Amino acid sequence: MALVVGAVLIAVTDPEVRTASGYFFSRPTDTLSAIWDAVFGAYSSLFQGSVYNFRRPRFVDGIRPLTETLTFATPLIAAGLGVALAFRVGMFNIGGRGQMLIAAACAGYVGFTYDLPPVVHLIAAIVAGVVGGALWGGIAGLLRARTGAHEVIVTIMLNYVAFYLISYLLRTPGALQAPGSNNPKTPAMADTAVLPALFGSRYSLHWGFVLVVVVTAAVWWLMERSAVGYRFRVVGENAAAARVAGIRVERTYVWAMVLSGALVGLAGVAQVLGTVTTGFTADIDAGIGFDAITVALLGRSRPWGVFAAGILFGAFKAGGFAMQAAESIPVDIVLVVQSVIVLFIAAPPLVRAVFRLPESRTKAAAR
């Protein structure tokens, strides 16, 4: 349904369609042909920019768009897992931007400051970033547990605190700013702290994607098979019942936000150690912290659902730029499609009404 809405918008905004529609009643086939060319051209460019480019003669070149999709998807999946974990505990973590910035600063500082052996250096930088994100997320959980402060307000404010703190450090010599530079940018990461390319220098995909796959499996086990995950789910379903059952709800809130911040922080680590290794600015989050909310909603807060949603939105990001370059379609159209997807996901009654679907048995029995 979202793709249909996107097709309508593409047709409406296409100049050739508007020109042909001016004489629709005399030659209607011209308008229909222009609509087909605009929509097919846009979506074929979206596919070839995100999955496989059939215009390339060699497979190694044609498959490059898929690797770009997975590269874009890597931080989206990591951050989406963090937001989804908080959702499962009944908390709304919209502090992804701040957690990513703090994690990026911690990982980046270790990455360009210290001179360590290759494997040790990379592990130390990753751990530093994840711990930074965990501590920043834990602040919201601690305030929720001790004072009852709502995590939405706290995480929004922490986003601003993190942004201005990192912006200050990027303009401060001896902190994050590159030596001898007046630009608010860090030095390049040391080669020993960079996530290696997964398929060689020809592609931008790095081992961060493999790390995210492992983390997704770990989060699935945590939430579905462990006692900690069971407590998380119970608190998310009914905090009062969980408290009566002997679960320490306040402690659960703290640990949930710590783990959520760690996962979102992993997205920042993937950015500075894998995607942008030549130094980063305060815009390193690239809107991923907020896109992660959409990914978590689309994945229904389930780890493998978030994984699939992250790849889908990674494809939108990779293909959106290709669609804009090849067909002059505004990249905002892709954002509209993403938004409409969330709208339909968040409004099941609307989808049931459109397709005349029956209500689920569980809800019908509840009524």
The model's confidence at residue 331, banded by pLDDT at 50, 70 and 90, is: confident
Helix/strand/coil for 121: helix
Residue 364 has pLDDT above 60, yes or no: no
pLDDT of amino acid 125: 96
Q: What is the pLDDT of residues 13-23, one digit of tens each?
A: 888 888 888 88
Asked whether the beta carbons of 250 and 145 are under 8 A apart, the reply is: yes
Q: What is the 3-state secondary structure (H, E, C) of 35-46?
A: HHHHHHHHHHHH
pLDDT of amino acid 356: 84
Mean pLDDT for the chain? 90
Find the range with the poorest average confidence among 55-64, 188-197, 333-342.
333-342
How many Å apart are CA 272 and CA 117, to the nearest integer? 19
Q: What is the DSSP letter of 238?
A: -
Q: What is the DSSP letter of 358?
A: P
The model's confidence at residue 162, banded by pLDDT at 50, 70 and 90, is: very high
Taking residues 354-358, what's their average pLDDT?
Answer: 82
Q: Which residues of 113-137 are buried (b: 16+ CB within 10 A; e: fewer)?
A: eeebeeeebbebbbebbbbbbbbbb
Q: What is the pLDDT of residues 58-103, one digit of tens each?
A: 888 889 999 999 999 999 999 999 999 999 999 999 999 999 999 9
Q: Which ranges of the chain would DSSP assign to H, the alpha helix? A: 2-13, 15-21, 28-50, 59-62, 64-88, 96-113, 118-147, 151-170, 208-225, 227-237, 239-244, 249-270, 288-298, 303-327, 332-346, 348-355, 361-366
pLDDT of amino acid 362: 53
Cβ neighbours, 10 Å, residue 218:
13
CA torsion sign for 282, 288, 289, 291 is positive
Q: What is the DSSP string of 152-208?
A: HHHHHHHHHHHHHHHHHHHTSBTTTBPTT--SS-PPPPPGGGSPPBSS-TTS--BTH
Residue 202 has pLDDT above 80, yes or no: yes
Q: What is the pLDDT of residues 270-291, one digit of tens each?
A: 999 999 999 999 999 888 988 9
Q: Which residues of 222-251 are buried (b: 16+ CB within 10 A; e: fewer)?
A: bbeeeeebebbebbbeebeebeeeebebbe
Q: Which are the contacts of 272, defined by CB distance < 8 A and separation ≥ 6?
A: 104, 107, 108, 111, 129, 189, 280, 284
Residue 355 has pLDDT above 90, yes or no: no
Structure-block tokens of residue 323: 């669609």
Q: C-alpha distances in angstroms, 291 versus 75, 285, 287?
A: 10, 10, 6
pLDDT of amino acid 232: 95
Structure-block tokens of residue 38: 């605009």
Find the range with the poorest average confidence among 80-84, 134-138, 294-298, 339-343.
339-343
Give me the percent of the chain exceeding a pLDDT of 70.
98
Residue 107 has pLDDT above 60, yes or no: yes
pLDDT of amino acid 365: 52
Taking residues 33-62, what's their average pLDDT?
Answer: 88
Helix/strand/coil for 22: coil
Highest mean pLDDT among 24-33, 39-48, 85-94, 178-187: 85-94
